[in-house]
Amino acid sequence: MKTTGKVTGIVSNLVTVEVDGPVAQNELCFIDLDGVRLMAEVIKVNGNNASVQVYESTRGLKVGCNVEFEGKMLEVTLGPGLLSSNYDGLQDNLATMQEVFLKRGEYTPALDSAKKWEFTPIAKPGDKVIAADWLGEVKESWLPHKIMVPFSFKGNYTVKEIVPEGSYTVEDTIAVLSDAKGNDVKVTMQQKWPVKVAIGGFKEKPRPYRIMETGVRAIDTFNPIAEGGTGFIPGPFGCGKTVIQHAIAKQAEADVIIMAACGERANEVVEIFKEFPELIDSRTGRKLIERTTIICNTSNMPVAAREASVYTAMTIGEYYRAMGLKVLLLADSTSRWAQALREMSNRMEELPGADAFPVDLSSIISNFYSRAGIVVLNNGQTGSVTFLGTVSPAGGNLKEPVTESTKKCARCFYALSQNRADSKRYPAIDPIDSYSKYLEYPEMEEFFDSKMEKGWVEKVLKAKNITLRGKEAYDQINILGDDGVPMEYHLRYWKSELVDFILLQQDAFDNIDCQTPLDRQQYMLDLVLDICSRDFKFERFEKCVSFFKNLINIMRQMNFSQFHSEQFNKYQQQLLNTVDNVL
Amino acid sequence: MSSNVFQRIYTKLEAITKATVTLRATGVSNDELAMVAGRLAQVVKIKKDLVTLQVFAGTEGIPTNAQVEFFGEPPALNVGEQLSGRFLNAYGEPIDGGPKIEGERRYIGGPSVNPYKRQQPSELIPTGIAGIDLNNTLVSGQKIPFFADPDQPYNQVMADVALRADVDKIILGGMGLSNDDYLYFRQKFEDAGALDKIICFINTTEQPPVERLLIPDMALTAAEYFAVDKNEKVLVLLTDMTLYADALSIVSNRMDQIPSKDSMPGSLYSDLAKIYEKAVQLPTGGSITIIAVTTLNDGDITHAIPDNTGYITEGQLYLRKDTDTGKIIVDPFRSLSRLKQLVINKKTREDHSQVMNTGVRLFADAANAKTKLENGFDLSDYDLRCLDYAKEYSNRLLSIDVNIKIDEMLDTGWALFKKYFKPEELGIKQSLVDKYWNR
């Protein structure tokens, strides 16, 4: 029998309920408000009183309203049809809601139960299987979507029956499995999984060892993120966090992109809704939307659902990972998620940690980041979830709890700098403060040695060093004046400007410059390093300045041209002539 | 506001703070309105039979035996065509001496638009101010604040922008407006002969601060009526949101909530987002655009109010005085319109983005040159040209007294580039240089 209860207190979306039976932490319940059922989650229990956070507005709620507990945690539905869908933080399908305004208590099914999918069996009767093993496959537009033994199945099973090739709905039984005791269990193409629990079902989780290409030079060349790796982008507002995330969502070489718009602007999501069905993925030639799932809980949607949204996104990511796919999960912004935690903690009158955030903030964040990773599946194939979150530090100050907690667990740090943004040097990723721990991984170095060239990492470090020395020189020039420093300083500074303008800066709105494949990144890095290695002699620093400005202008035109096109080659020739003239 | 005849009346308060009262009552619903000793109040907390109400007009003089009467419904506004041209208070009651508003009763602070049903904003709102149109183009359905120090003429600029914008309705939500500013807006709208398309919800400094909390929701409920029901283009002006946030902190403080940064409530982000996210472009053609004012304390944008605002709004506009020209300009470095990419080069000329970026970059070079000069260093020929350019750029384009068409702004940009620089110093796409340099 279900546990029930009655509302005894209300503060904003925190409601206390007196219960008549057992309740579990994080258990779901529905509060009945004149026939409208409001979903809520248990976040604290004290005696017979459960505190629940309501995923909806609590306007009109009264003491005495009936509450019904569900006996399960917040779950998502996993199955074919997730791709190209637009969900809210609780996995309600936004596209199938009828009205312009979101209606309280309206929950729409995540998957279309009428749609038929072409199923091809992989397993045969008699096969021994365990959770997450592949039973069959359906084509989800282009993607081979594996139908798996539900993750919740414990122990060993034998396939008793499996349906032949044909079309089935997500609710049709496609296989019958028998457990060790001989009990039969029916399996459909959809399964449920609680979002706050990581999906297992893989053999091992090795250290990341290969790159996740994004087409953004400041990332791929300078601070690469590994497939299955984690990274975060903190930055004050107006520094281009969202532009970078969108660029990565469009360009990254992933099979599946999950975008969690967590407490951010609705118009940014609308941009994705509008652009992704039109934009083409240059690698597969398919529409971007065909590989994308959007979890959208914008800032004006209920706070508790915002907290759930990142978990919903992660769970869907893990589901596709179990199919042996490369998943990229983007969350914008994890600070809003942390703020949702803070709002609840505050209403529960918990003793606050720094900046009134809950004291366990750090462990919650690192627990979440740890769900990313590359894994070796039971069948030996690999799958991965790469996670990139943004952080919106209060006041642009990186010494705040969310940034600090995230820094402890994310392996890549892409600091967006206000100075760079102010001078329109986009992407505003600071070349000196940012880092990628993956550059230090011997596995990654090995990978680069074979994928790019021997000694690649060294080259990258050399380029980084040029920017660092350039900055030092710039500081000296500012203190001592243009004429007060040796010519060498000007050279150093301008070489770093060359690296900045040609490699680091990238026009996200230019059709060609926005995405640079690795081979082109390598080519341009070589070109820039070649120029930087030369020993130029100038009599006056003005000569040096105008020479480098000219170089930058020519090379920018190269960046705007099709790689190796006639135009590109023309500019390159012009560049070489200019350089030779000076030497 | 009328009350239900069958509603029970209570006469004993258990607790009183500066902004709230608490009493024992049953059958009370969350968010509903009540009258406490003749003052409007709203339920903010219920714990068994203990109900806490926030009294909008403050609790000065309220006795423990005050009469409390519950209305059984949340705050509402009567909406209808007759709102046009009216001046109302925070409760939606006329302050212009006109008749009471009759019309459909709508609860304020209603649900949000399904993001999937939104349309991507794509219509440019021209203002004639180059610091906005050229560098930070506004788009209908956008939400953007002015970040300004209290001494800057933000209300004037906002009124100019509103009157020049091509919209069907202008709704002003005034929070803590000085009486002078209120009269200024009134006069300005009257002089422009625009009264019939204006609706004002006004809370002045003479009125209790907590009343302000109703203003944005009132203004936006009216806006939603015209945008959603009537498919009109509505521009909402909210000034000053800093005073709104201050009122939020007063209430949360009285309710013993643990403050987060700058003694603001931990929910500040969500509270502000609920207001700003009402900006929308609807598929039926109606739209709500929000231009707000957030006053700063000595230009400090790291304070929780502007900081949270910046993360919610689609950009921000800074006003500052240019010491070289003595004029108020729209600061090109810190101002940003996030939606400008949706109209630049699409609804405007192909050279817009490059002229914009180059213009600002050169202005930045001039700022560097100025620093050099101040530090006593020699300036190069390029530095000197930048300084001259900056003065003219500031005067002819950035200044808020500019009122020209966008094409003219672009032509002015090219003219300045040509006057002071050579094409190779600019890094503009060659094809554009070929086309516009010698025009």
The pLDDT of residue A154 is 94
For domain A4-73, the CATH class is mainly beta
**Which of the two residues, A582 and B81, has the higher pLDDT score?**
B81
- Report the C-alpha gap between B290 and B234 in whole angstroms: 9
Would you call B59 an interface residue with chain A, using a CB distance cutoff of 8 Å? no
Residues contacting residue A569 through CB under 8 Å, at least 6 positions apart: none
Q: Which of residues 160-219 of B touch A (CB under 8 A)?
A: none
CB-based contact A177:A185 (threshold 8 Å): yes
Asked if B111 and A104 come within 8 Å (Cβ–Cβ), the reply is yes
| Per-residue CA distances from A140 to A84, A117, A135, B161 (Å) | 10, 8, 16, 50
Task: Write down the domain spans for chain A.
Answer: 4-73, 117-191, 208-436, 456-582
- Report the C-alpha gap between A139 and A119 in whole angstroms: 8
Say what percent of chain B tops pLDDT 90.
79
- Report the C-alpha gap between A304 and A479 in whole angstroms: 52
The pLDDT of residue A345 is 87
Binned at pLDDT 50, 70 and 90, residue A188 comes out as: very high
The CATH label, of 2.40.50.100, 3.60.10.10, 3.30.450.20, 3.40.50.11540, for the domain at A117-191 is 2.40.50.100
CB pairs under 8 A between A and B: 215
Say what percent of chain A tops pLDDT 90.
81
Amino acid at B227: A
Residues contacting residue A565 through CB under 8 Å, at least 6 positions apart: none
Q: Is A290 exposed, middle or buried (0-12, 13-18, 19+ CB in 10 A)?
A: middle
Q: Which of B30, B311, B377 sits opposite A482 (nearest CB)?
A: B377
Mean pLDDT of A416-432: 90
Q: Which residues of B touch A301 (CB under 8 A)?
A: 112
Give the relative orientation of helices A401-409 and A334-347 as an angle to the nearest 10 degrees. 120
Residue A3 has pLDDT above 80, yes or no: yes
Asked if A356 and B260 come within 8 Å (Cβ–Cβ), the reply is yes
Asked if B111 and A103 come within 8 Å (Cβ–Cβ), the reply is yes
- Report the C-alpha gap between B46 and A9 in whole angstroms: 5
Asked if B269 and A336 come within 8 Å (Cβ–Cβ), the reply is yes
Q: Which of B261, B266, B312 sits opposite A346 (nearest CB)?
A: B266
User: pLDDT tens digits for A323-334?
Assistant: 999 999 999 989
Residue by residue, DSSP assigns B321-352 as EETTTTEEEE-TTT-EETTGGGTTTTTS-TTH
- Report the C-alpha gap between B24 and B10 in whole angstroms: 8
Mean pLDDT of A83-111: 93
Q: Which residues of B touch A57 (CB under 8 A)?
A: 111
Binned at pLDDT 50, 70 and 90, residue B6 comes out as: low
CB-based contact B106:B77 (threshold 8 Å): yes
- Report the C-alpha gap between B67 and B90 in whole angstroms: 22
Q: What is the mean pLDDT of chain A?
A: 94
Asked if A10 and B30 come within 8 Å (Cβ–Cβ), the reply is yes
Asked if B425 and A549 come within 8 Å (Cβ–Cβ), the reply is yes
Mean pLDDT of B113-134: 93
- Report the C-alpha gap between A50 and A363 in whole angstroms: 24
Binned at pLDDT 50, 70 and 90, residue A292 comes out as: very high
**Which of the two residues, B129 and B377, has the higher pLDDT score?**
B129
Mutation target to probe the A interface, by most A beta carbons within 10 A, among B22, B23, B24, B30 is: B30
Give the residue from chain B lying closest to A556, CA to CA: B427
The pLDDT of residue A264 is 85
Residues contacting residue A37 through CB under 8 Å, at least 6 positions apart: A30, A31, A105
* Vertex A194 angle, CA A188 and A195, to 5°: 120
Residue A421 has pLDDT above 90, yes or no: no
Mutation target to probe the B interface, by most B beta carbons within 10 A, among A87, A267, A478, A550 is: A267
Q: Which residues of B touch A556 (CB under 8 A)?
A: 427
- Report the C-alpha gap between B395 and B325 in whole angstroms: 7
Residue by residue, DSSP assigns B197-234 as GEEEEEEETTS-GGGGGGHHHHHHHHHHIIIIIS--EE
Q: Which of A267, A273, A300 sits opposite B112 (nearest CB)?
A: A300
- Report the C-alpha gap between A263 and A391 in whole angstroms: 12
Asked if B425 and A274 come within 8 Å (Cβ–Cβ), the reply is no
How many CB atoms are located within 10 Å of the residue A391 CB?
28
Amino acid at A298: T
Phi, psi angles (nearest 5°) of residue A324: 85, 30
Asked if A238 and B315 come within 8 Å (Cβ–Cβ), the reply is yes
User: pLDDT tens digits for B317-338?
Assistant: 999 999 889 999 999 988 999 9
Mutation target to probe the B interface, by most B beta carbons within 10 A, among A237, A339, A493 is: A237
User: pLDDT tens digits for A124-158?
Assistant: 999 999 999 999 999 998 899 999 999 999 999 99
Asked if A57 and B111 come within 8 Å (Cβ–Cβ), the reply is yes
The CA dihedral of A529, A530, A533, A539, to the nearest 10 degrees, is -110
Whether domain A208-436 has CATH 3.40.50.300: the reply is: yes
CA distance B377 to chain A (A): 6
User: pLDDT tens digits for A471-484?
Assistant: 999 999 988 888 88
Asked if A63 and B112 come within 8 Å (Cβ–Cβ), the reply is no
Asked if B28 and A62 come within 8 Å (Cβ–Cβ), the reply is yes
Give the relative orientation of helices B406-420 and B381-393 as an angle to the nearest 10 degrees. 160
Q: Which residues of A touch B26 (CB under 8 A)?
A: 63
Give the residue from chain B lying closest to A400, CA to CA: B261
Domains of chain B: 9-70 (2.40.30.20), 76-107+140-313 (3.40.50.12240), 352-436 (no CATH)
Asked if B115 and A298 come within 8 Å (Cβ–Cβ), the reply is yes
This model of the complex carries an ipTM of: 0.86
pTM of the model: 0.91
The pLDDT of residue B7 is 65
- Domain A456-582, what architecture? Orthogonal Bundle (1.10)
Can you give the C-alpha Rg of chain A in angstroms? 27
Residue B5 has pLDDT above 70, yes or no: no
Would you call B251 an interface residue with chain A, using a CB distance cutoff of 8 Å? no
Q: Which of residues 353-392 of B touch A (CB under 8 A)?
A: 353, 357, 360-361, 364, 371-372, 375-378, 380-382
Instruction: Of A118-127, A263-272, B103-112, B240-249, give the lowest mean pLDDT range.
Output: A263-272
Instruction: Of A121-130, A363-372, A451-460, B252-261, give the lowest mean pLDDT range.
Output: B252-261
Would you call A62 an interface residue with chain B, using a CB distance cutoff of 8 Å? yes
Residue B3 has pLDDT above 50, yes or no: no
Q: What is the mean pLDDT of chain B?
A: 92
Q: Which of residues 181-210 of A touch B (CB under 8 A)?
A: none
Mean pLDDT of A258-271: 90
CB-based contact B400:B328 (threshold 8 Å): yes
Asked if B261 and A355 come within 8 Å (Cβ–Cβ), the reply is yes
Give the residue from chain B lying closest to A14, CA to CA: B45
The pLDDT of residue B28 is 94
Q: Which of residues 297-326 of B touch A (CB under 8 A)?
A: 301-304, 307-308, 310-312, 314-316
Would you call A34 an interface residue with chain B, using a CB distance cutoff of 8 Å? no
